[in-house]
Amino acid sequence: MRFVKMHGIGNDYVYVNGFKERVADPVALAMKVADRHLGVGGDGLIMVLPPEPGVAADVRMRMFNADGSESEMCGNGIRCVCKLAHDHGISRANPMRIQTGRGVLTLRYTTNGDGKVAQVTVDMGEPIVEAGRVPVKIGMIPDNSRVVNFSLSEFVRDHAELRQPWADAAGLDRHITCVSMGNPHVMLYCTDAAKIPLELIGPVLEKDVRFPRRINVHFVQVHSPGEVTMRTWERGSGITLACGTGASAVCVAGVLTTRSDRKILAHLPGGDLTLEWKEADGHVYMTGPATEVFTGEWPG
């Protein structure tokens, strides 16, 4: 089976061209190829497939986390799907329409001197902010309400990890804001994101019972209304260098909490993304690079 290793600002996946290759068990394959010691290494597996019958799209994307769980969307991953489709001759459509678990998304791209995709802008669609649709299940919050600047005290009561001294050292604001971009995200703000023990706090919040589909966890440091730094724990993958849907959710959360503007530059460990939550159509737009690292052949 031929594969392509690609990344979007360090959020790396093993990609398979499903127009040419057949994968009988993508869940099992994801766990094997994503292993950074015994496999190719990556945050998971992404399949680039023909659209389902009746769907008006150029290609379809299916993504599997490193633990084999399937996720609805990946913002960095979809930029690489666009690059693979264009550079490997599947589709030259621009804009390109890609079917995802979030629906069909529209992407526009620019090419570099050799005609290959360099930068991609993704229309991430409208954010989902109603608690019941994120989903977040907190007793006193109705499903049709927003979880914005909600006190972390209920979580602190249940998790000793949130009561340790790191919270003060990092200047943690003890409130959460939740947004879905087709997959669920929780944002926490702090004054020093580098001091957050992600490996300790990430899995605690990811698997909290109030998040019935688990959740992606982001700690955000605001430098100015137009600039933030963020660090991420992704459900099913752990600490990652970047999360495109997460950066989009951070953009929305910044507006909802009046911490940042509708257009921001987000610094992630793997690189930068530009996000804009446009008032005109209510959609979030994400712009960033897509990079092919190497191609190879997986046995079997």
pLDDT computed for residue 139 by the predictor: 87
C-alpha distances (whole Å) from 105 to each of 25, 49, 243 are 26, 15, 17
- Nearest CA among 26, 96, 39 for reference residue 65: 26
Domains in the chain (CATH in brackets) are 2-124+288-297 (3.10.310.10), 150-282 (3.10.310.10)
> Mean of the pLDDT values across residues 31-37?
97
| Tokens representing residue 185 in the block | 């995200």
- In SS3 terms, the chain reads as CEEEEEEECCEEEEEEECCCCCCCCHHHHHHHHCCCCCCCCCCEEEEEECCCCCCCCCEEEEEEECCCCEECCCHHHHHHHHHHHHHCCCCCCCCEEEEECCEEEEEEEEECCCCCEEEEEEECCCCECECCCCCCCCCCCCCCCECCCEECHHHHHHCHHHHCCHHHHCCCCCEEEEEECCCEEEEEEECCHHHCCHHHHHHHHHCCCCCCCCCEEEEEEEEECCEEEEEEEECCCEEECCCHHHHHHHHHHHHHCCCCCCEEEEEECCEEEEEEECCCCCCEEEEEECEEEEEEECCC
pLDDT of residue 67: 97
Which phi and psi (to 5°) does residue 162 adopt? -85, -5
Read off the pLDDT of residues 237-295 as tens digits, 9 standing for 90 and up. 999 999 999 999 999 999 999 999 999 999 999 999 999 999 999 999 999 999 999 99
At 31, the pLDDT band (50, 70, 90 cuts) reads very high
Please state the rounded mean pLDDT for residues 72-96: 97
The DSSP bridge partners found for residue 183 are none
Rounded to whole angstroms, how far apart are CA atoms 26 and 226? 40
Distance (Å, whole) CA 246 – CA 252: 10
The Cα 212–Cα 136 span in angstroms is 7
Q: What band does 220 get if pLDDT is binned at 50, 70 and 90?
A: very high
Catalytic positions:
74, 243
